[in-house]
């Protein structure tokens, strides 16, 4: 089945719009994590240094992504000096940060991937 040019561009635009929607959902998750768990996590992993929760939403997003990489990969935990400390964080909190990481990566892939495909296709 061959799709016409208009249909293909509509599908690609739709996936980009879906990426934007997923990004908005990710922002909601970041707001939830900032209000509920980020301060507690900074107490455990960064010895109470409020680098991410004390500032705005932009830095909270960076903190969520940083701590998610600490929970996902041993290399990053060791690199940031949090290898032993990450075991003190409850698993349900770790899962929330990992979920937020995958929501962000999905939104970036959909949004910028569709823009790249549209640019190449045009």
Between CA 25 and CA 30 the distance in angstroms is 9
* Distance set, CA 99 to CA 8, 21, 106 (Å): 31, 16, 11
Every domain of the chain and the residues it spans: 10-121
pLDDT tens string 24-55: 999 999 999 999 998 888 889 988 888 888 88
pLDDT digits (tens, 9 = 90+) for 51-73: 888 888 899 999 999 999 999 99
Q: Which two tokens stand for residue 31?
A: 């707001």
DSSP states of 69-102 as a string? HHHH-HHHHHHTT-TTGGGGS-HHHHHHHHHHHH
pTM of structure = 0.85
């Amino acid at each position: 089945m061959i799709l016409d040019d208009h249909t293909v561009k509509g599908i690609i635009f739709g996936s980009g719009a879906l990426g934007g929607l997923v990004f908005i959902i990710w922002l909601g998750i970041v707001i939830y994590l900032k209000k509920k768990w980020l301060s507690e996590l900074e107490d455990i992993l960064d010895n109470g240094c409020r680098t991410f929760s004390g500032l705005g939403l932009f830095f909270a997003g960076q903190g969520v992504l940083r701590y998610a990489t600490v929970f996902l990969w041993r290399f990053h935990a060791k690199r940031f000096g949090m290898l032993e400390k990450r075991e003190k964080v409850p698993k349900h909190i770790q899962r929330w940060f990992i979920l937020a990481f995958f929501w962000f990566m999905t939104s970036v892939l959909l949004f910028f991937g569709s823009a790249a495909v549209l640019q190449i296709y045009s």
